[in-house]
A and B are shown apart, each in its own frame.
Chain A
Amino acid sequence: MSDHAIVCEKLGVAYRLYHHKVVTLKEVFTRRFKGSRFTPFWALRNISIEIPRGEVFGIVGPNGSGKSTLLKAITGVLDPTEGKVEARWRIAPLIELGAGFNSELTGRENIFLNGSILGFSRKEMAEKLDRIVEFAGISEFIDAPVRNYSSGMVVRLGFAIATDVHPDILIMDEIFSVGDAEFARKSVRRVESLLASDATVILVSHNLDMIGKYCGRAMLLWGGESILTDSADRVVAAYRKRVAGS
């Protein structure tokens, strides 16, 4: 195999659009007579990407163009309807911070819980603990349940955990700066150092300057299809032109 971290081949993901989402046993029986009551909706179709190790790859496109679906297919959350995805090594998605938090548990317990969700052992997380707590700036509250945290503290803790684990493949969906002004500066520096490391990164953002600044190559998604894969500058220019024209 080549030295690619991520390979997508003719990837397609279709959602079933039901008339209503909850399926009951009754419908299973009635559907027999009425015929199937959903239409497939292709959120993504015919996507092929090869991302070499260490590349920072950008994905741009308007809302609903399939960016999140593509990330979900790459991280293995969604099973592609057609085509295939090959991702090697440990993938850590930095999407929506604190998705794995349990508000009843303390900050410390949540650090270990989140670490294990990302595939890290207790020992590995114990080594990172002090750094995470310090970066998040919540040392006084680390043994209080997360439900008592302010929303800013939750975001900061989530960010500190997610960016302290050093995965081989990093997925970033619109998280550059979080929290107040001071923390935002700190978090931008943290993200920049991650981007400069040898990790393979997929970056999704509406901030086109960021894409142009950090990414080597990028892909423009539009209506679930890949319009262009080229150098980040050219893709950003093409996207701007397309938005202006539409």
Chain B
Amino acid sequence: MLRIVRELMEYKELLKNLIYQDLQVRYRNSVLGLIWTLLHPLLSLLVLYAVFSRIARFPGMRNYAMFLFAGIVPWTFFSQLANQSLNAVLSKRRLIGKIYLPKIIFPISLTLSNSINFGFFLLTYLVICAFTNIGLQKSIVFLPIPILMLMSFSLGVSFLLSSLNIFFRDFTHLTGILLQILFYVSPILYPISITGKYKPLFMLNPLYFIIVNFRAAIYDGKPPDAIELWGGLAICIGTLLFGLWVFGKLERKFIYYV
């Protein structure tokens, strides 16, 4: 742990450059630049809304579009990061074969550059939300909690995927399928209340905690529920530590497999 922190301090310039490079490369060659990163999830949101607002009628739903939006914001961050993490280290094989670098810098820089996009997307939600019947609520002060959960869980998953995919390329295929399943078992399209007695089963999914806490803060206008708060924090930080441990264990062997 200490070694990682010390190395990151030593290479903080590289970390900055990697984030900058990531954002630059993503935006430079397209006219709409940043707009695209917002447009993409907004369009998929529109499609989901068009389909599901007709099929499903949930009791007590105040504004299904914003309800969906509040769940899509953290989901988009997580799923995009998970997909990109698969190649976070693999794509740097040329570089790490030439010079020693702390490999952990790659999933970290990826997570940070993605969190900038996430910030813009969240801001978009809040701006739109202010003009709807939901409005901005006092519960927004709790928003840092689900953000912390999302960041630590996603970073942990990024550590796991970027390292394990080096040894087992199966993860590339597996992740696509798993993300699809996760999307439907997470309470993004529907309120968790409709799961009834199966709710504990849905709570096995760490994303459940993240999404429920996000919604509480920016849609429901409620303070976080104690179980969902502490359970979520424990699972997310646990995932982060587990991912860090696995990455640290495997890091030394990367070079023989990339």
Contact = CB atoms under 8 A, between A and B. Distances in A.
B255 A102 contact: no
B11 A116 contact: yes
A117 B21 contact: no
Nearest to B169: A22
Interface stretch (A76-84, A183-191, A198-206, A213-221): A76-84
Interface in A98-119: 99-100, 102, 104-105, 109, 112-113, 115-119
A109 B29 CA distance: 16
Contacts of A22: 169
A75 B168 CA distance: 27
A122 interface: yes
A104 B24 contact: yes
B24 A109 contact: yes
B21 A77 contact: no
B24 A93 contact: no
B198 interface: no
Contacts of A28: 168
Given A16-B256, A25-B168, A77-B255, A116 B13 contact: yes
Interface size class of A (residues with CB under 8 A): 35 or more
Q: Name A's interface SS.
A: loop
Interface in B16-65: 16-17, 20-21, 24-25, 28-29
A23 B17 contact: no
Interface stretch (B76-84, B95-103, B124-132): B95-103
Interface in A193-213: none
B210 to A, nearest CB: 28
B contact residues, range: 20 to 34
A102 B170 contact: no
Given A24-B168, A116-B17, A15 B256 contact: yes
Nearest to B92: A100
Nearest to A71: B98
A23 B168 contact: yes
Contacts of A112: 17
Contacts of A104: 21, 24-25, 28-29
Contacts of B167: 23
B6 interface: no
B249 interface: no
A77 B98 contact: yes
Contacts of A77: 96-100, 255
A122 B13 contact: yes
Interface-central residue, B13, B16, B28, B99, by most chain A CB under 10 Å: B99
B14 interface: yes
B10 interface: yes
Interface of B: 10-11, 13-14, 16-17, 20-21, 24-25, 28-29, 94-101, 167-170, 252-253, 255-257
28 contacts: A15-B256, A21-B257, A23-B167, A23-B169, A25-B168, A77-B97, A77-B100, A79-B253, A79-B255, A91-B100, A93-B99, A99-B98, A100-B95, A100-B99, A104-B21, A104-B24, A104-B25, A105-B24, A109-B21, A113-B14, A113-B17, A115-B13, A116-B16, A117-B14, A119-B10, A119-B11, A119-B14, A121-B13
